[in-house]
Homo-oligomer: A and B are copies of this chain.
């Protein structure tokens, strides 16, 4: 199956809106650091997890049963999840050349970056007590980020490979991570993404008055794209190419 980079780029662009929507919704609440503290709440089944970890694992266990992680762009944040009861989607040919989707999984880094450089950087330092909503919205954000990053990692890498197989084969044979990274990089495309994200964050938030909805500075999200989303996508692309089945 031929993958066209142009189509994949459109899908990545579409996923931007979802990421922005969810980050703006999360920003309506304060940091609420209590939800990230391990052992803060005494749950029925665990008193060692943070509330975020507890709810997120629960959510992935349900989703695993429904087959969520059979799709390449949906990589789990947790391990030892139950087997799917049924595949809801035919995932036999999506056009990738990889044996184990989970050989590309940057979710740990996504979670750390999200907490450090979005929640603890972009949001109010207060505690508004809305803990349940906070972790729900955190999970929505993490899922949107992971979907975008892994979708790019798999499909952009394969499309770029198909457009230029000889050069990529040589870099893969040499296990040249730096060479792959450089050959995957399109600086003008990255700059266009950052500019577009800035405009979107600005315009979407203009629909409500600042005394009605909390606004986040567009720079918080453009910095997040520049420092995390784009590099983690490329890191995943390099992993994909090094694991590509020849």
Contact = CB atoms under 8 A, between A and B. Distances in A.
A116 interface: no
A63 B65 CA distance: 18
A51 to B, nearest CB: 7
Contacts of A129: 89-90
The size class of the interface chain A forms with chain B is: 35 or more
Nearest to A69: B132
Contacts of A17: 24-25, 207-208, 213
A58 B62 contact: yes
Report copies per complex.
Answer: 2
Contacts of A58: 62
B41 A88 contact: yes
A203 B206 contact: yes
Given A18-B25, A42-B86, A44-B65, A13 B208 contact: yes
A158 to B, nearest CB: 20
- Interchain residue pairs A-B with the least CB separation, the first 7: A21-B21, A44-B85, A88-B131, A200-B207, A58-B62, A13-B212, A14-B213
